[in-house]
Amino acid sequence: MQIKVYFESMEIIHVSAECYPVAKAGGLGDVVGALPKYQNEAGHVAKVVMPMYRTKFLLNNEFDVVHKGYTNLGSWWFNFTIIKETTNKLGFDLYLVDIYGLLDREKIYGYDDDPERFLGFQVAVVDWIASWEHRPDVIHVHDYHAGLIPFMLKYCHKYQFLQNIPTVLTIHNAQYQGWMGWDKSHLLPAWDGWKWGMLEWEGTINPLASGIKCAWKVTTVSWSYLDELRVAANGLEALFEYERGKCVGILNGIDNAVWDPETDSYIDDHYSVETFAEGKLRNKQILCDRFDLDIDKPLLIFIGRLVGEKGADLLPQAIGDSFYHIGRTMNFLILGSGFPEVEAELNSMKGLSRNDYNVFIGYNENLSHLMYAGADFILMPSRVEPCGLNQMYAMRYGTIPMVRNTGGLRDTVIDYGDEGGYGIRFNYAAVGDITQAIWRAVNLYYDDEKREEVIRQMMQLDFSWETSVKQYIDLYQSL
């Protein structure tokens, strides 16, 4: 008897506020810029829908208008337009939603009317999907900005006929939940009033909580983060405990096509696992020249949002203590932006530099790639780290991660003192632990043989998307 196995290609619609290279503020952008590409490579049809911000990508690319709609937020009726990038150069169909007055801004976040902006975006997306003649196999929403879509599909009268479309919510960061007062409840398309509990958490409309309650499945971007959310989830702990049956952890991958020291288009001096010693040194030289640092000392970097979650507020004292207790035997270079107090403190420390400290306040994709390539160590003293991509990029570029033992950092980095290990791990987001990790880093730096062994091992680790793509597809299929 002959058994035929049919491969079922699925249509997956990703809805997100960020997508690299269109608009990125952090890891969410990287993931939504890569996961759909690798889902397509695996034979599926994955598409991305996001707001049409006024970013460089918009100006430098060509688009076709594919839909024009008219809908409302409460009594405010508005026109919206969906445009599609014409060349498919990202490896997936990219759709941008334009809402004049709401989404036509340069920044992704940080406006007073963010709740209305993302609500308008979600209503437009669902309205557009409702106009299709076919149904997608799954709608995959990311973070709170798209977290109300599962509710809308289930309980808004207008979209009831879409309620059988499976939904998946991926939580990249549970700190931000999109809280809205009940006075905004009339902005949602008319909904079944009995279901108010599906929007509510502790007295407010909570889009992330609503997504967790209403999505068919919920994923987090690492296994450890899922465990931690049951005890620390910015108020949603009980909900994660209650809904644990539908939650799974799927570790992010990294886009090896973008993040490859052999081909990276942001750096000039390429290298491989065979040539890392000279290759990294050339990149380090560029950094040291540009930032007045000493090439002969180990270069420790930090890249990221300067916020409490990342432990950025601990950096000034940890750096000061290291210089004082360990000596001026290392360089620090920091790239990031965030809390004004932390930015100011880090900036003010430039005056104390003896060619061994510098900081670049801002967001700079080019510089970040050069830093992954030229640094010796990357410091991540995060209090919370859902997955963390920096440590994975760093390892691919031969930069040794120094990470706090939490979330995705715990899942991806093994201490070099343990069997098979290749990084530096510490337990607490505290100055003492960070300083001790810096001391270990300096010692490792001067142990050429061990350091090179660690780098060689790290650079060959596989963090590609392949395994995670398979897990996502299995999850969709289970629906």
Is the distance from CB of 186 to CB of 112 less than 8 angstroms? no
DSSP state of 418: S
**Closer residue to ligand ADP (CB): 81 or 390:** 390
Least separation in angstroms between residue 364's CB and ligand ADP is 5
Using CB under 6 A, pick the residue from 81, 322, 390, 412 that binds ligand ADP: 390
Nearer to ligand ADP, 99 or 258 (CB): 258
Q: For residues 107 and 325, which CB has a smaller minimum distance to ligand ADP in the complex?
A: 107
What is the smallest separation between the CB atom of 68 and ligand ADP, expressed in angstroms? 33
- By the 8 A CB rule, do 65 and 82 touch? yes
Q: Which of residues 150-189 bind ligand ADP (CB under 6 A)?
A: 173
Q: Which amino acid is at 68?
A: K
Residues 246-305 that bind ligand ADP (CB under 6 A): 303-305
* Site residues (CB under 6 A) for ligand ADP, limited to 344-373: 363-365, 368
C-alpha–C-alpha distance, residues 104 and 107, integer Å? 9
Q: How far apart are CA 453 and CA 459, in angstroms?
A: 10
- Residue 210 or 390 with smaller CB distance to ligand ADP: 390
Closest distance of CB 42 from ligand ADP, Å: 23
- Residue 187 or 402 with smaller CB distance to ligand ADP: 402
The secondary structure element, H or E, covering residue 379 is strand 377-380
Nearest distance, CB of residue 309 and ligand ADP, angstroms:
7
DSSP state of 101: T
Instruction: Select 358 or 368, whichever has its Cβ closest to ligand ADP.
Output: 368
Q: Residue 55 interacts with ligand ADP (CB under 6 A)?
A: no
Verify binding: residue 311, ligand ADP, rule CB under 6 A.
no
| Pairing status of strand 377-380 against strand 400-404 | parallel
Residue number of the CB atom closest to ligand ADP? 27
- For ligand ADP, how many residues bind (rule: CB under 6 A)? 19
- Containing 332, the helix (H) or strand (E) segment is strand 331-336
**Of 386-394, 399-407, 411-419, 450-458, which segment contacts ligand ADP by CB under 6 A?**
386-394
Q: For residues 337 and 436, which CB has a smaller minimum distance to ligand ADP in the complex?
A: 337
Cβ nearer to ligand ADP, comparing 116 with 255 = 255
306 or 424: CB nearest ligand ADP? 306
**Please, which residue, 185 or 256, has the CB nearer to ligand ADP?**
256
- Report the 10 Å Cβ neighbour count for 280: 23
Site for ligand ADP contains 336 (CB under 6 A): yes
Backbone angles phi, psi at 128, to 5 degrees: -65, -45
Q: How far is CA 464 from CA 35, 257, 260, in A?
A: 10, 10, 11
Enumerate the H helices of 235-326 as residue ranges: 237-242, 276-291, 315-325
**Contact with ligand ADP (CB under 6 A): which of 108, 247, 335, 413?**
335
State both tokens at 131. 């106009």
Confirm or reject binding of residue 337 to ligand ADP (CB under 6 A): yes
Judged by CB under 6 A, does residue 147 bind ligand ADP? no
CB of 266 to ligand ADP, least distance (A): 10
Q: Hey, is 153 helix, strand or coil?
A: helix
Site for ligand ADP in 19-48 (CB under 6 A): 26-28, 30
The least distance separating ligand ADP from the CB of residue 15, rounded to whole angstroms, comes to 18
**What are the phi and psi torsion angles at 83 (to 5°)?**
-115, 155
Q: Which helix (H) or strand (E) holds 365?
A: helix 365-374
CB of 214 to ligand ADP, least distance (A): 24
* Least distance CB 225 / ligand ADP (angstroms): 11
Q: Which residues pair with 332 in a beta bridge?
A: 300, 357
If you write DSSP's letter for every residue of 11-71 in order, what string do you get?
EEEEE-S-BTTTB-SSHHHHHHHHHHHHHHHTT-EEEEEEE----HHHHHS-EEEEEEEEE
Cα dihedral 206, 67, 105, 207, rounded to 10, equals 0
Residues 6+ positions from 83 with CB-CB distance below 8 Å: 52, 63, 64, 65, 66, 95, 96, 98
Comparison of 73 and 392: residue with beta carbon closer to ligand ADP: 392
Question: Which segment (107-115, 206-214, 293-301, 382-390) binds ligand ADP by CB under 6 A?
Answer: 382-390
Site for ligand ADP contains 389 (CB under 6 A): yes
CB neighbourhood size of 149 (10 A): 30
Q: Which residues bind ligand ADP (CB under 6 A)?
A: 26-28, 30, 173, 303-305, 335-337, 363-365, 368, 387-390
